[in-house]
Amino acid sequence: MAKCWIFAMLILIFVVQCIVANDLEMEAWRKNMESRLLKLERENVQLKMKNEEQDKTIKLLIEENNQLKEVFNKARINAEPPILVPGNDSRTLLNTSGARGEVLELSTDKNIHKSKRNGRERQERLLQSNTPHEGVAFYAYISSIHTPALEAKHIIIYDVVVTNRGNGYHRDNGIFIVPQTGVYVFTWTVVVQEAEWIDLEIVLNGSPFGSIVADTVNTASGDWDCSTGVTVKEVNAGDHVYIRTIDHRAVTIIYSGTNARTSFAGWQLL
């Protein structure tokens, strides 16, 4: 009887140990599963964040694509010329893209004449730009020593004409009348002998736009002085350009000879 009881106790102890061991294994397994679940949850959160970023990127790309489509369509519409479609009492301008169905009604006669006029103007501009102008240039000088009493605003006459392309310079009055509109270069030179001085200005239609002075009053005996002015001016056909004195001079010896010329010149630059 005692042996049976001991055997039963051993069995009970074995069973208890098995149960305890099983509980420990289950606890370890549970902890392992919880750890794996936490890891999976973190990975799931990271994937969701990546998906959201990708969704934002896709939306931005779609918006940019739509904007590019709009720009392309506008550029294509602007590049394509309109087609005139005859109507009963008007003409219709139909956009060649056709997709937008944009139709503009325009008056027949008014717009036809305007279109023809614009076409002629474009052709004239092209012909002018492709046809080189003949060019304008002149050069003249005073033939000999000039010693009159020169009043203020006295126009200097350069009587020897060397070059006069375009026939703009007039030797009878010293005035250059611009043959054609453009940008011109003008230059003028004056030479004075000892103990003399003179100031000259270049004038456009009565308004000075440049000046020079030659002065030997306070220089050594026998000295001469030469002064030159250069200007660039945009002028119109028919404008008057000339050289004149600024101040009154009772006696002024303006020299012009083989070794130094008092002169006036100009040419069209553009």
pLDDT digits (tens, 9 = 90+) for 127-149: 554 444 578 999 999 998 876 66
Express each pLDDT in 28-39 by its tens digit: 888 888 888 888
- More confident: 137 or 7: 137
Residue 194 in this model has a pLDDT that exceeds 90:
no
Q: Provide the pLDDT for residue 91.
A: 45
Q: Provide the pLDDT for residue 128.
A: 53
Mean pLDDT value across residues 199-214: 94
Q: Provide the pLDDT for residue 170.
A: 97
With CA atoms as reference, report the closest residue to 225 among 179, 186, 194: 194
Band of pLDDT at residue 95, cut at 50, 70 and 90: very low
Strand ranges across the sheet with 91-94: 83-86, 91-94, 103-106
Within 8 A by CB and 6+ apart from 202, the residues are: 186, 188, 208, 209, 210, 211, 229, 231, 241, 242, 243
Sign of CA dihedral 50, 51, 57, 60: negative
Residue 105 in this model has a pLDDT that exceeds 50:
no
CB 105 within 8 A of CB 131: no
Give the pairing of strands 207-215 and 254-255: unpaired
